[in-house]
Structure 1
Amino acid sequence: MPQLNPSPWFFVMLMSWLTFSLIIQPKLLSLIHTNPPSNKTSTTTKTTPWTWPWT
C-alpha cells in the first residue's frame, strides 16, 4: 500500500511547515492591525431581568 510509505510525503510536509514557519508566519506577524482591541472602550449595557410567566 503506497499510503504507508512516508518517504515522499514526509518531505512535502516538512517543506510546507518550514515554508510556513520561516517565510509566511513572520510576514503575517509583522502586519499592523488597524483597529487593535486594546484601544476600544468598553461599554456597559443595562440589562433587565426577564420575568418568566410560569414562575
Structure 2
Amino acid sequence: MDTLALLATVLPVAVLAALLCATLVCLAAILRAHRDDVVAVLLALPAVVAAMLRRKR
C-alpha cells in the first residue's frame, strides 16, 4: 500500500479517536463535578472567550 494512501486512511481515524477520547474525558469531568462548579464554569465561558479574542488581535 502506498504511504500516502495509508496516511490518508489512518490520519482521519486517529483524529476521530482523539476527539472521541477528549469528549469522553470532558463528559466524565462534568458528570463528576459538583453542580455549582459546572454552573460557575459555564457562566465564566463568555468572559474567557472574550479575553481570548482580545488577546488574539
Place the TM-score, normalised by the shorter chain, in its bin.
Answer: 0.3 to 0.5
Higher relative contact order (CA 8 A, sep 6+): 2
TM-score (norm 2): 0.40
TM-score (norm 1): 0.41
Larger Rg: 1
Structure with greater proportional helix content: 2
